[in-house]
Amino acid sequence: MNAKKLFAGVVAAATLLGGMALGAASAQANPTDAATITVTNAAAGSEFKAYKFAEFADPEGTAPTMTKVQVNTVAEAKTAVENAAKSASGVSEIPDPYKDNPAAYVATFTDAQLRAFADAMDVSGLSVADAQTAATEAATVTLSVTEGWYLVTDSNGVPTVVATRVTANGATYTTFNRKSGAALTLGTVVAKSNTPPTPTKTAEEKAKAMGVGSVANYTIQAKLPNLLGKTNPMFKIMDKPGVGLTVNKDIKVYVEGGSSEITVDGNKVNVTEIPASSYTVGGFTSNELKGNGTDQFTVDLTNYAVSEAGLANAGKTIYVQYTGVINEEVKESETVVNTPSVDTNSGTVVAGDEVELITGRFEFTKVGVDNEKLKDVTFNVKDSQGTTLKFVATDNGYMLSTAAAASADIKSGADGKVRVFGLPEGTYTVTETATREDLGYSKQFMADFKVKVSVDQATKKATFALDTTSGNVLKLATSDNGAITVKNVKSVTQLPLTGAAGTALFAVVALLLAGAGVTLALKSRNTMIES
């Protein structure tokens, strides 16, 4: 609990002896000065109430950083503070130096005692300094109060002790410099809701097409719940990979804040890595989990959540990062999905939204000179590196594959269609390698063109387009409203006669004529020799 930990440090650093009397030359703090308490990570509908139980005097340090302060118990809260302090420390009487000022005794508490004090405090007889309700999930709520030490209650969480800023003699102290650790901000607290957190999830590659063998970098985020005083505490983060995704057992877990950096949704986030010894991972076989839409893996963070570090970080974001690989079971599916969830008690599981990765694909139609559909025309596909890809047949086409039975040859179906699935984003070269010579089509005029595979960001669907910037010299591949048609011809006269294609035709004719000239010359020479 940040606020509790903060103030335990504040008061431990102060010299809290002698009944907290203020000296004549003290830096007078004004307990009626306006201040605020900012509550972050508030659950929707949670009501927060602030109860003042102590005031400040004699702040020391160089503004805005305070290193020492005195604490005086508010008269109205003396009995409540005394009873809660005795309960938290396990004593029957407040020690002599603090009998008239029990809040000063609370200032000497350890972190655990301070948390117990907050839980034990009875506020039924105290005045509410301010009350506010969170309108939305993970909201920020501001309580308007006067300077002092407060117990803040949460209708959906646990009470928290928090100190406001301190002003004296024109100086304002907004941070406290502990003996160890980073300076802490006064007047802020992270809500520790009892409501199970709803996880969110993202993949860095969600905006591009993925294919068989593509690696996805996933991040699950969930707020760390407050498990203080819970019977059978539990905090587990689960993920259920769908068909076509193999999850690697390379899980790392982080908590919000720190000097390390991770990437989440393309943004850098400061975090602290949680040691692997603080959590357990289950659900994997041979360091991987092949998704089937039913089995899930679990990251059990219960031990961390109930530890001193976990309780201090309650309300902060936990990040679980791992990688997954698109496998060949994706087949013709346009997406690969997986679903995160959080369990904070047996039978209380909160699921997050599915995360979809989009798989790339393309298709075209093979036709003859009269636009009739041509079956069994053979093609090869190369990636942008010039590597010839291999495929296995699916129900409606071909899927990228590394299987031993995979082949580089793909053929048009009875409808003339060639459909290719499981392709990563990129540009592919499609080369016709065998045509229907039995139907009179010429192998001298076979198609060679490029297709770009990507994701339509508006529809979040895989898309493809004929590359008009290179390849397709004979212009046998054409596109109409995104539909690609690839034509076969039987003779040179059936080639397109416009634009670059016309130039190509003349080049072909020139080559043919040159060939004919060579043939004629050879025949002529042979005739001369024979003569």
268 in any annotated domain: yes
Last residue of a domain, one of 121, 155, 190: 190
Asked if residue 220 and residue 174 are part of one domain, the reply reads: no
Asked if residue 508 and residue 469 are part of one domain, the reply reads: no
Q: If you average pLDDT over residues 466-484, what whole number do you get?
A: 94
Q: What is the CATH number of the domain that holds 310?
A: 2.60.40.740
195 in any annotated domain: no
Asked if residue 145 and residue 282 are part of one domain, the reply reads: no
346: pLDDT strictly greater than 70: no
Asked if residue 110 and residue 217 are part of one domain, the reply reads: no
At 504 the pLDDT is: 52
449 in any annotated domain: yes
The pLDDT confidence band at residue 10, using thresholds 50, 70 and 90, is: very low
Please enumerate in sequence order all residues whose Cβ is within 8 A of that of 369, keeping only pairs 6 or more positions apart, or say none. Answer: 487, 488, 489, 490, 494
Asked if residue 267 and residue 167 are part of one domain, the reply reads: no
pLDDT, mean over the chain: 87
The pLDDT confidence band at residue 27, using thresholds 50, 70 and 90, is: low
Residue with the larger pLDDT of the pair 351 and 180: 351
Asked if residue 524 and residue 440 are part of one domain, the reply reads: no
Residue with the larger pLDDT of the pair 301 and 8: 301
Upstream peptide bond of 196 is cis (omega within 30 degrees of 0)? no
353 in any annotated domain: yes
The whole-angstrom separation of Cα 432 and Cα 430 is 7
115: pLDDT strictly greater than 90: no
Query: Is 11 within 8 Å of 94 (Cβ atoms)?
Result: no
In the chain, how long is the greatest CA-to-CA distance? 137
User: How many structural domains are present in the chain?
Assistant: 4
Asked if residue 451 and residue 433 are part of one domain, the reply reads: yes
156: pLDDT strictly greater than 90: no
50 in any annotated domain: yes
Asked if residue 205 and residue 173 are part of one domain, the reply reads: no
Q: Note the pTM of the prediction, 2 decimals.
A: 0.73
Q: If you average pLDDT over residues 365-373, what whole number do you get?
A: 96
Q: Which of 442, 429, 422 is nearest to 328 (CA)?
A: 422
482 in any annotated domain: yes
Asked if residue 393 and residue 374 are part of one domain, the reply reads: yes
The whole-angstrom separation of Cα 455 and Cα 461 is 6
Model confidence pLDDT, tens digit, residues 389-443: 999 999 999 999 999 999 999 999 999 999 999 999 999 999 999 999 999 999 9
Last residue of a domain, one of 166, 190, 214: 190
Asked if residue 47 and residue 171 are part of one domain, the reply reads: yes
Q: Is 482 exposed, middle or buried (0-12, 13-18, 19+ CB in 10 A)?
A: exposed
Q: What is the CATH number of the domain that holds 485?
A: 2.60.40.10
241 in any annotated domain: yes
519: pLDDT strictly greater than 70: no
Asked if residue 509 and residue 482 are part of one domain, the reply reads: no
Question: Could you list the residue range(s) of the whole structural domain that residue 55 is in?
Answer: 2-190
Last residue of a domain, one of 326, 357, 388: 357
333 in any annotated domain: yes
Asked if residue 309 and residue 215 are part of one domain, the reply reads: yes
255: pLDDT strictly greater than 50: yes
| Lowest model confidence (mean pLDDT) among 35-44, 171-180, 382-391 | 171-180
